[in-house]
Amino acid sequence: MNSDGNEDPLDWMALANKKAKGKRPEFFDEPEDDRMFSILMALVGEVSVMRQRMDTVERLLDEKGAVSREDIENYTPDRDAGKERGAMIREYIFRVMRGPMQALEAMKEQEAPIEDVSRKLRDM
């Protein structure tokens, strides 16, 4: 609360730039790859939100012919719209992640199962 007894407005920029507690997760051998992956995931999230807002605008335009910012902010999708959005977002994420998932699958195919490696070591 501030000195007037009112709640301080939320500082989104400070929260967005706040450093997380603990060690940053590492997925790749090179730190630059982890940073690029982090940037990619942040952009995927932002585009996903923009797609949902665009869907809201399109639905409101279909329904009313014109929209206001208030209409957009107060819109709540019905069950069918929610299902359509869910499918849209899943398909979008699948497309974005197709490359990394294919690379992961290729790595799995190249590695011998641990049982085979263990058997070879035992038989040496």
Domain count, the chain: 1
Q: Domain range spanning residue 89?
A: 36-100
Tell me whether residue 45 is in a domain. Answer: yes
Helices (H), the chain: 12-16, 31-64, 69-74, 79-110, 114-122
- Asked if residue 105 is part of any domain, the answer here is no
For residue range 10-58, list pLDDT tens digits in order.
777 777 777 767 777 777 788 888 888 889 889 999 999 999 999 999 9
For residue 70, pLDDT over 70 is answered with: yes
pLDDT at 93 over 80: yes
What pLDDT is attached to residue 56? 96
* CA–CA separation, 43 and 32 (whole Å): 17
The reply to whether 3 falls in a domain is no
Residue 48 maps to a domain: yes
Whether the predicted pLDDT of 1 surpasses 60: no
Q: What is the gyration radius of the CA atoms in the chain, in angstroms? A: 23
Quick check: is 51 in a domain?
Answer: yes
- The verdict on residue 84 lying in a domain is yes
Residue 109 located in a structural domain:
no
